[in-house]
Amino acid sequence: TEYETTSSIEKGELQKQLDSARFELENSESKFAAAEDKLRESEAELDALQLKNEELESSLSGSAESLRLELEESRAELETARTNFEAELTAAYEAQKSAESNVEELNEQIKSFESEIDDARVQLTEYETTSSIEKGELQKQLDSARFELENSESK
């Protein structure tokens, strides 16, 4: 019976160990189930984050494309404006050169007219001088003719 007693003690000990192992197993299974739930939640959050990331990438891609198109349009407008400005600048430069040429030509004409005016003044002065001399001579002839007429009438 000593064997039975030892066997009974060992059986009790084994039962305790078995109960303890079952408790630990249940506890571990509970922890495992909680960890699986947490894993599912994390996977769902990760899926949601990935979806949001894809949406953001799509939105950014669309925004980047829109910005790229706006940039290309702005560059084209800038190039057109630069071309127009260069054309206007060239036209203004040509107009300035033409105006300068016209001013030079007009200055030459003014000098020519001034020279002609000076010549006309000299001619006028000469004419006035000659006219004054001729007037004096004509006056003398007139006086002489009157004198002769008076003398011929008195005879």
Supply the pLDDT for residue 128: 84
Q: What are the distances in angstroms from CA 125 to CA 6, 129, 134? A: 168, 6, 14
For residue 108, which of 120, 116, 98 has the smallest C-alpha distance? Answer: 116
Residues 101-137 as b or e (16 or more Cβ within 10 Å = b): eeeeeeeeeeeeeeeeeeeeeeeeeeeeeeeeeeeee
Eight-state DSSP code of residue 49: H
pLDDT in tens, the chain (155 residues): 665 666 787 888 889 999 999 999 999 999 999 999 999 999 999 999 999 999 888 888 888 888 899 999 999 999 999 999 999 999 999 999 999 999 999 999 999 999 999 999 999 988 888 888 888 888 899 988 888 888 888 76
Supply the pLDDT for residue 2: 63
